Amino acid sequence: MTSSAPLVTLDDTSPAIVYQPESLWRHLNKQDSVMNNTYSAGYTNATATFVFNGTQIFVYGVVLVPPDEPGVLVSLLQATFFVDGSSSGVQGPPLDGVLRYAWLWYRSSELEPGEHTLLVHVDRGDDKPATTWPWVLDYIQYTPLSSDAATQTQNLSQPTDASPSVTAGLSKGKVAVGSIVGGVLGGIVGLVLPTLAAFVLFVKRRRRGKGLPLSSKEVDLLSERGARNLY
């Protein structure tokens, strides 16, 4: 088993993570309390795909505070996780209205050693002006195959002192996800639609904590150019 191998960590800006469609993602920097001060916010029907060689994978993010608008109905945030095309779990946030960093959105079971594909589908992430509540990815960790651990860890430890850039990796689409998305969306519809009505949260005026800003300090990393490799 590879349980002793060190975990490999990828920031959300890694070109190894393929975001589709780009119009449903906002890649922000200058954010506090997150890895490399960046995170990626996904909205309804956004997907993120990552191919890895290993035996287990973990997905971490941020739970933002729901919109604080009295009398406004907000659809409950939800994402479905697929490993190798099979649904592996549906996750939503706690219902306490608290801002949470380094939140473990997903942890896979032990996988057979080898290549695997993780696909995250954002089932519900509201992007309406009054009810904006996206699903947020901060970083991914996985347990590599023991023979690859040293090489992969070295590659992910390069300096990160320049401005982040994910334009090249995203535009090339290094991981082909068209076939994966096509195969799983049909299953998603049958799985998710029956539960949509039940997952509606009535937002009360009083909330504890404050959400991360989505406009005051944001920079869309897709439009930046830089030399930094952000694994």
Q: Percent of the chain having pLDDT more than 90?
A: 50
Instruction: Provide the residue ranges of all domains of the chain, joining segments of one domain with +.
Output: 8-223
Interatomic CA distance for residues 202 and 57, integer angstroms: 33
Rounded Cα–Cα distance for residues 224 and 211 (Å): 25
The mean pLDDT of 157-185, rounded to a whole number, is: 35
HEC states along 66-90? CCCCCCCEEECCEEEEEECCEEEEE
106 close to 81: Cβ distance less than 8 angstroms: yes
Rounded CA-CA distance 76/59 in Å is 19
Q: What is the pTM of this model?
A: 0.66
Question: 208 or 74: whose pLDDT is higher?
Answer: 74
Indicate the pLDDT class of residue 4, thresholds 50, 70 and 90: low
CATH superfamily ID and name for 8-223: Galactose-binding domain-like (2.60.120.260)
Q: Give pLDDT, residue 74.
A: 81
| Digit-coded pLDDT (tens) for 100-158 | 999 999 999 999 999 999 999 999 999 988 889 999 999 999 999 986 554 454 344 33
Give every CB contact of residue 169 below 8 A, 6+ residues apart in sequence: 14, 15, 16, 17, 18
Q: What is the pLDDT of residues 180-192, one digit of tens each?
A: 334 444 444 444 4
